Amino acid sequence: MIEEFVRWFLALFFSAVCAFYVIRINLLTARLKQKVTYLGAVGSRHHLTHMTFRVFRIIIFAVCLIRVPFPTLDQYLFLIGGLQSPYVLLTGCALLIASFGGLVAVNLYMNGHWRSGTDPEDQSELITGGPFAVSQNPMMLLVMTGQLGFFLALPSAFTFICLVAGHWAVISQVSVEQTALREKFGDAYLRYTASTPRWLLR
């Protein structure tokens, strides 16, 4: 049954995502001997964006895990009946896999320059090659793809709220990062943004 497969898929998928980033952050922190995650000053837009991401990640992970032993939880998520099609659900799963695969690839491409958030004292370089030659924000584009995939894999009022909040947080974080990069790299960053689409198309 497709619904049962997707139920297990989501629980295992978000467990894998959680494991990847916990391992990635800890290994990178140990290797560089410095923090690689920055929340921003309390009360700032940067901090609000990160806390929104963090809270929704925790809630999403918990819901996906609890749905496995307690399928009746679905009634409280307000499922959207018209979208409970095997094709829609499997499309959502495919988008989640593609998104995560892309994020892992970009993480590996960035190597030790990967960061979560923006620290004004960070000494990482401006990356303009590889996936960053195609889009200024390849990671954020993949995150939004994953957010859409989650909505399609579990069409409901709950996941729609997650989708809207997630897209707001992405757009907000991109704005914060652009300001920080412009201040840090000056003309080099302006030349980069003039020749590279913000997302995929100008």
- Cα separation, 68 vs 194, in Å, equals 48
Higher pLDDT: 150 or 36? It is 150
CATH level 3 topology of 2-195: Four Helix Bundle (Hemerythrin (Met), subunit A) (1.20.120)
pLDDT at 72: 95
Q: How confident is the model at residue 202 (pLDDT cuts 50, 70, 90)?
A: low
Mean pLDDT for 49-66 is 94
pLDDT at 149: 98
Report pLDDT digits (tens) over 80-116. Answer: 999 999 999 999 999 999 999 999 999 999 988 888 8
pLDDT at 35: 87
What number of helices (H) and strands (E) belong to the chain?
6, 0
**Domain ranges for the chain:** 2-195
Per-chain mean pLDDT for the chain? 92
- Tokens matching residue 109: 């491409």
3-class DSSP state of 40: coil
Is 80 exceeded by the pLDDT of residue 123?
Answer: no
Q: How confident is the model at residue 32 (pLDDT cuts 50, 70, 90)?
A: confident
Q: How confident is the model at residue 79 (pLDDT cuts 50, 70, 90)?
A: very high
